[in-house]
Amino acid sequence: MSRNINISSPPAPLLKERGEAAANKVKGEGYRVHDRYWQPYTVYRVPCTVHLLPFTLYLLPFTLYLLLLFCSCENRELSADDPCGDAFAVEVVIHWDGIDPADKPQKGMTAHLFAQNDRLLYERAHLPADGGWMDIPGAIPYFSLCYDYYGNEYIHFRDENDLDLFEAYSAPATGLYNSYGPNSAMNRAATGEAEENTVSEPYPYNFFVTRNDSLFTVKPVSGQTQYLHFYPENVLREFTFLILGVEGVENINSASGAISGMSAAYRMRDGAKGVEPSTVLFGNKQGRVMWAGDSITGVFCTFGPADIEHLLNRLTVGVVSVRRGYYSGTWEDTVREQIAGALGQNGTLEEQAAWRLQNSGYDIVLQNEGRLVIPDEPDDGTFIVDVGDYDNVIVPLPVR
């Protein structure tokens, strides 16, 4: 059972009244998780002193009975943060070493602790980006996570209450690419390839996660501050590309892209990527795909390739011309090898930076070789469309 207590103030709370309580109760506020939003609720704490005692001495036996009843820790349902319980205040400290302060999630971070021996027991709190306070039961070893629950617009969560199944995943997307691009059902069927799921590029290109390798146990020592430390890292990866020798660049009005064979899921317990390949759409935000001279440059952000050894990565760039014609080019040769080179032996950012230095400043460099040609006006090989970019449609899914 989860306590789901929010220690800090959540965004835009809407008060949810429980109703009038009996006399002599102290009213307070707390927050618990409901449908992925921190909902406020009202708690009533029964004071452990009876102010009418001088007036009820003649009812001393009955008064003592009431006092024991009200102060009993067996009545914890009266208050989510009952001071009679066995929980102890823990200060959660979130360190942002080496991360630009501007990238810290404005909506805070979520600390999530799973009991080692009881997977149905967990503690969760939404805290400011630098941390805050949690009330955590003592003498229970916890596996502790901290992650950016609200920060990324196109990352959702599933199986949040099960440590082994808990995943972050990219939101599904639809658009022109699904109908006309190389990943469309028609084109895949024609080449005998399996159709991949199509997902949105995570935005704003950061997803911060950290986990502690050692179990965390609160010591049942009152009056002593206990600390839980987290060191978040961005688990998303950006790749840059350069396409040389594109014909008709001056006729481009807008451009977007897609990259196949990428992972669309991230397992929170150990950071393993999902193995099912997906196609990631990118470029619907300004500045992600640019064009000048005879070249097109771009950047896409993903959890990384699903399987770098056995899957091809197909890069597609689609453009809408000034005459509203739609054109696309596709590249497969060397794309997987160049992504593998950018990841390096250990997958570090330092290895990626070194790869770019020797690869013309990009992760992927490709020659057009006639794949993408944008004429002055639509010809017989194109069609007219009424939308720019991919016009992604995000499909909302229930999140538990």
Q: Tokens for 40? A: 């406020």
CB 53 within 8 A of CB 47: no
pLDDT at 181: 66
- Give me the tens of pLDDT residue by residue for the chain, a chain 400 residues long: 444 333 333 333 322 232 333 333 333 333 333 333 343 333 323 333 334 344 434 444 444 444 433 433 333 232 333 444 578 899 999 999 999 999 999 999 999 999 988 767 889 999 999 999 999 998 899 999 999 999 898 999 999 999 999 999 999 987 766 666 666 666 666 666 677 889 999 999 999 999 998 999 998 777 788 999 999 999 999 999 999 999 999 999 999 999 999 999 999 999 999 988 999 999 888 889 999 999 999 999 999 999 878 888 999 999 999 988 889 999 999 999 999 999 999 999 999 999 999 999 999 999 999 999 999 876 544 444 333 344 444 444 444 4
Asked, for residue 357, whether it belongs to a domain, the answer is yes
Return d(Cα 347, Cα 328) in angstroms, integer: 31
Asked, for residue 76, whether it belongs to a domain, the answer is no
Asked, for residue 78, whether it belongs to a domain, the answer is no
Asked, for residue 221, whether it belongs to a domain, the answer is no
- Residue in the structure block whose two tokens are 């102010």: 51
> How many structural domains compose the chain?
1
| The residue type at 302 | T
Return d(Cα 82, Cα 70) in angstroms, integer: 12
Q: Tokens for 361? A: 């400043």
Vertex 312 angle, CA 309 and 318, to 5°: 150
pLDDT at 378: 62
pLDDT at 238: 96
CA atoms within 13 A on the CB side of 74: 4
Asked, for residue 300, whether it belongs to a domain, the answer is yes
Return d(Cα 258, Cα 335) in angstroms, integer: 13
- What is the helix, strand, coil percentage profile of the chain, to 5? 15, 35, 50
Asked, for residue 6, whether it belongs to a domain, the answer is no
SS3 141: strand
pLDDT at 91: 96
Asked, for residue 360, whether it belongs to a domain, the answer is yes
Helix (H) or strand (E) holding 92: strand 87-94
Return d(Cα 2, Cα 138) in angstroms, integer: 15
Asked, for residue 326, whether it belongs to a domain, the answer is yes
Q: Quote the domain boundaries for residue 202.
A: 155-207+235-394
Contacts of 328 (CB under 8 A, 6+ apart): 180, 181, 182, 316, 317, 318, 319, 372
pLDDT at 225: 87
pLDDT at 398: 45
- How many CB atoms neighbour CB 29 within 10 A? 13
